[in-house]
Structure 1
């Protein structure tokens, strides 16, 4: 079966990497931990700001890791089993997770904050500089 890409138009040149990124994003469909993405109002003339908020109740700052590698934001959480505790009922599992967000070129991670079980990661999307360049046309005989 041949897969027809929405980016296979002859007018869309060099978008192979975007197509691969879309494939990666659709495969990462695990729902844990739940998260929100919101647009934060900025002052006129400032870069657009976004905030990703993850519900990470039970994780300490030391158990969370936020990294940027190339154009991907990785948010990881690692909890260790507490062998000293004896549970009568165990409804909250010690769980690991990794959330990956693909960042557009120019996106900048401003910082991360953990408060009341919510991890917030702030991002800025600067307005791209418009570049107009004239291309000389050579004449061949």
Structure 2
């Protein structure tokens, strides 16, 4: 009498990877997510490799993880993968402060973000 197996959260031709607690704002991270959305994975990896943004290395690691999940867990062909979806969400926000003039307090917020990348296998047109 065991529990039923959880259904897959993605389709049979998809795989995904999630990265949590990235020390950057969601707004900055969304610029990189928009950069790779809809591209072939090889092109997306090249774009992230040569990007000058600090968080591009973490996004590249997440994309490589999604590719590895597709290859090892779901037996998908790496050469036919595209970045189907890449979305960004908010995570916690650390609140810090700094004393300002006339006894006031300057609030400093240090946001964290999370990134989810979904890759899909598409058959190439001949």
| TM-score, normalised with respect to structure 2 | 0.39
Higher share in helix: 2
Larger Rg: 1
| TM-score, normalised with respect to structure 1 | 0.36
